[in-house]
């Protein structure tokens, strides 16, 4: 079976109440037909709230990468919030190296218009 190595990556800037936020993590997953597959991470943001995640997967068809976000913004002593955001197809390329990173800024105190349940 012929499979093509494909890569994707994202640079995520986390904010909570308009301040850099570090109590979060991001993982890069790939939507499979039967199960979801892990591609990269989890990665925690630096002191500026920035995290960079990337990965590769071999598939027959185009991969469907998404970011799995877990955070504790406004969640003191409570369970974290988790949601997913799909990476746009223009940020997927053939090969093992990411050629173009998707840059996204997430204000975690609000719902992002592209977020969905995982």
Residue 115: inside a domain: no
pTM higher than 0.85: yes
Residue 46: inside a domain: yes
Residue 117: inside a domain: no
The number of folded domains in the chain is: 1
pLDDT of residue 60: 86
Q: How far apart are CA 93 and CA 108, in angstroms?
A: 28
- CATH number for the domain including 48? 2.60.40.3330
Encode pLDDT of 15-28 as tens digits.
999 999 999 999 99
Using an 8 Å Cβ cutoff, are 52 and 101 in contact? yes
Encode pLDDT of 31-86 as tens digits.
875 445 678 889 999 999 999 999 999 888 899 999 999 999 998 888 999 999 99
Residue 13: inside a domain: yes
Residue 112: inside a domain: no
- Which residues form the domain of 74? 4-107
């Amino acid at each position: 079976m012929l499979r093509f190595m494909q890569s994707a990556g994202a640079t995520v800037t986390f904010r909570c109440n308009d301040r850099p936020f570090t109590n979060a993590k991001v993982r890069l997953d790939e939507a499979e037909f039967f199960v979801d597959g892990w591609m990269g991470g989890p990665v925690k943001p630096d002191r500026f709230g920035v995290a960079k995640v990337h990965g590769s997967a071999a598939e027959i068809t185009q991969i469907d990468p998404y970011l799995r976000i877990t955070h504790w913004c406004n969640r003191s002593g409570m369970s974290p919030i988790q949601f997913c955001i799909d990476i746009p197809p223009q940020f997927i390329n053939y090969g093992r190296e990411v050629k173009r990173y998707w840059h996204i800024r997430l204000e975690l105190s609000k719902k992002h218009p592209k977020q969905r349940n995982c």
